[in-house]
A and B are shown apart, each in its own frame.
Chain A
Amino acid sequence: MADDKKFAGYICTGCGIGDRLDASTLEQVATRDGKMQSCKQSEMLCGAEGVQMIKDDIANDSVTHVMIAACSRRAKVEAFNFTDVALTRANLREGVIWVRPDTDENTETTQEMADDYIRMACAELKAMNKPAPSGEQELNKNILVVGGGITGMTAALEAAAAGYPVHLVEKSGALGGAVGGYYKVIPTRSPYAEPAENPVPAMIETIEANDKITVHLHSTIAKTDGAPGRFSVELATESGSSQTLSIGAMVQASGWKPYDANQLPEFAYDKSADVVTNHELEALAVAANGGPIKRPSDGKEVKSVCFIQNAGQCSDKEGHLSYFSGVTDLISIKQAMYFKELNGDCDTTILFDNLRTPGAGGEDFYRAGQQAMVTFSKGIASEVVAGDSLTVKFQDKILNEETEMACDLVVLATGMEPNSGPDPYALLALEEIEDLDERAKKQEEIIAVAPPSILNLEYRQGTDLPHLKNGFTDSHFICFPYETRRTGIYAVGPVRRPMDIQQARDDATGGAMKAIQAAENAGKGRAAHPRSGDLSFPTFRKEGCTQCKRCTVECPFGAINEDEEGYPMYNESRCRRCGTCMGACPVRVISFENYSVNTVNEQIKNCEIPEEWDEKPRILVLACENDAYPALDQAAQAGVEVNPWARVVPIRCLGSVSLSWVTDALNSGYDGIVLMGCRRDDDYQCHFVRGSAMAAERMSKVGDTLESLNLEPERVELYEVAITDIQRAPQLINDMADTVEKIGLSPFKF
């Protein structure tokens, strides 16, 4: 194999590179130190001629490895898109000339910087292989949708409309979900003036008439095996029969359930039949059959009704939901208008503290409610006293007084809770507990309250999609909604956050499109977001593996199972190519063709470390290519200066950082190391969700390493950097330079 490799370097002198740097020196460095078999210059490498030159070399001279020394790897991506070769970029523009002042006294250090980057790029290239698809996958166009409510039905219809066969699985005996039984819904079209017709019956009809959609009623998922492109899903029906479907990708739209109002004794929900939840009121409105709504206790026509907003939600109280369900204020407005429509001159009061009416028509609908003479009172209800007439005690927040009102019916605006499966990490976390008895006890406790599994995944990391806050199902809520930590399975609708019908439909459409994309990508052996299109995938060297399970546990995407012997079993199409497994492996046996412990180590080693008496420190910056690296690029564009001792190496994710890089760098004489990754807490911004957090955990042990080397702890810093940290990112590097100046050069230079 090695014999077939042919290395070619290309140096661009455009964009001012040629004016600031000595191109012939650069070329010399590439061929002499970097061992490029050829090296060519171009005044504008990204132009048609330059690109053609590279293409020709690939075609005619069988070049397999290309080193481009020009602008940042984030620039001119389209122009330098040569799929059949291993490719690396030395960043001379954003990395060097734009961050260094153009003055005589700086010429030397600027050239040194550029030389280093070329050396590093060449060394990286030498350690890379041309990535190729594994051929593990085939195209499977079947989309499975779990849940037959509005969200699931929308996903099914959208996927079918795009030409993909759909299996729609519904636990109950009918499609329609929670909203199916509603009298009317919040309007989604201008003028948003009154409650709109329930869309569910029409949707069910369309689904039944669509021959691309197969509906499985009374069905649940008994087992899901495999990976995107080759899921094998076993359905179980109530009657006991089962069948196995072969599926390309999945959408989980398992919806929501109403909050249990029995936890609200203060509102007499358990004492009076005339205190109902918003969910229950829908049934009363339907039962009214066009006539006036009657109260449950004695069938008397409701003459006055009071809605209590935020009942059991937006509250820190034990047993209450800490979050707001987003839609419940609009629902109360809608339901108050039922009374104006059906119950004549019924006194209708909405007791609110904050009235929130999100969405395009929210404000108009609120006004429509006011026009209809619904009384909106700013007040917080404290108690409902049961009786023939109910008494609502509340604090009037405008008039600042404790007061009360009498009414026939009280409606509690309670919140939505997700229909998530059990949290897969709840049980995994128990593996930390040493005492087996205690572990078993905790396990039982968790299992006792856990909801039934929805997907029954045969994954090393549990049966269902991970949770976010408050039990909602995973989604990368900042950048990529519906994207979960289980590749090819998309969570949509109120299972991932509370939402209204319109939002759920938009969500479902997005999720259906993502599922289609995942099936297509899997068929081609390409990664899903965020490294979409990447063909490389991780492999491990079985001979070296100690079966430590770190990779299988730390992979944020549950991509790795274990075989009977306990060895990791990779599932290429579940993998997102983050490299967290690689960073986790203590014996460094995991690698990608084009990214490995070695490719980075080679870069670290091939930067020239000046002798101590030169007084030129070296600072290694490992910057996440998703946020930190672009932040540095933008800083460069804005002309923010970076210290000339810094050498920046882009990495896929902090999670991929191997501790050995840090130790090796320190050992070889670097004076400081700066690690930059994404935010990692609950409000994470990590593109690989957990990568940054895993890295932080690992790096907490760096202190020991430093101590054993007798080095100051300030020599290694780990930062959370956002893509917007344009001033801060370079500053962090410059800060390290100051630190080094203060504590002195590393004693490890030789």
Chain B
Amino acid sequence: MSDLNTSMIEKYRSSFLKEVEANVEEGEWVKMCMQCGVCSGSCPLGKHWDHPPQEIFMMIRANKREEVLGSDSMWMCTSCYNCIARCPRGLPITHIMHGLAVYSKRLGLTPKKQPTAEFSQIFWDNLMKKGRVNELKLGLSMNFKDGFGEGVKNAMANQKLGQNMMKAKRMNPMEAFGGHGVKSPGDLQKIIKKAQEIEESKIQAAK
């Protein structure tokens, strides 16, 4: 268990809701949910969620910290914004789901090998290298994220797709050796590093 996690448990012993309010993006909205269930009914991958958004909000209020933060439900969010468009209470549900996902990851509670959690990290790392996403590398690292054997299997499965894309000039093998980017990735990295520091320090301060 991460230190951060331990200290958060200490601090918010009685109220997971307060912890969420303090540390999760748009977390102060959770208390405003009126449990109508519209979000859960609107979620495209809803049937794959162990706990759809409505339930997550209820669980937060019922102090079910481990069940929520250890859940892989939030990672099922496709960012379709259907829930936001429909929530009669105007909750920024998409962002709360993202926020919960990030928070759980930060505390080291995200289930191992959660594919979307991994993909989003790979994506971020990819974009951080040059400031723009390198789709080919992104695809390759996604294929090979579970080791070489899996990677070859995945690559074979997607082989035809890749060929098609290359034919349509929408995938460039040369990208593997460079590709697009901002002029000074170093500057961008500095900016983002600073932003990360500020965000970290806020969470630490909440400890």
Contacts and interface: CB of A to CB of B under 8 A. Distances in A.
Interface of A: 347, 355, 366-367, 370-371, 373, 375-378, 396, 398-399, 403
Contact of B55 (A355, A367, A377, A398): A398
Contacts of A398: 35, 54-55, 58
B62 A371 contact: no
Contacts of A378: 35, 58
Categorize the interface residue count of chain B.
10 to 19
B62 A377 contact: yes
Given A377-B62, A396-B62, A399-B62, A370 B32 contact: yes
| Chain B residues touching A, majority SS | helix
Nearest to B55: A398
A383 B32 CA distance: 27
B61 interface: yes
A371 B32 contact: yes
B83 to A, nearest CB: 16
Contacts of B35: 376, 378, 398
Contacts of B31: 370-371, 373, 375
Nearest to A401: B62
B132 to A, nearest CB: 42
A235 B94 CA distance: 67
B191 interface: no
Interface centre among A347, A367, A376, A377 (most CB of B within 10 A): A376
A396 B62 CA distance: 10
B61 A375 contact: yes
For the complex of A and B, list the 5 residue pairs with the smallest distance between their C-beta atoms, beginning with the closest.
Answer: A398-B58, A370-B32, A378-B35, A370-B31, A375-B61
Given A370-B31, A376-B35, 15 more contacts: A347-B14, A367-B32, A367-B89, A370-B32, A371-B31, A373-B17, A375-B61, A376-B61, A377-B61, A377-B62, A396-B58, A398-B35, A398-B54, A398-B55, A399-B59
Contacts of A355: 34
Contacts of A376: 34-35, 61
Given A355-B34, A366-B34, A371-B32, A377 B58 contact: yes
Nearest to B35: A378
Contacts of B59: 399
B34 A399 contact: no
Nearest to A375: B61
Contacts of A403: 62
A433 B58 CA distance: 58
A587 to B, nearest CB: 63
A399 B32 CA distance: 18
A90 B34 CA distance: 59
A403 B31 CA distance: 20
A375 B34 contact: no
Contacts of A366: 34
A180 B34 CA distance: 32
Interface in B6-40: 14, 17, 31-32, 34-35
Nearest to B88: A363
Contacts of A396: 58, 62
Contacts of B14: 347
Nearest to A366: B34
A403 B67 CA distance: 15
A375 B61 CA distance: 7
A375 B58 contact: no
Contacts of A347: 14
Interface string B53-69: 01100110110100000
Given A370-B32, A375-B17, A399 B61 contact: no
B89 to A, nearest CB: 8
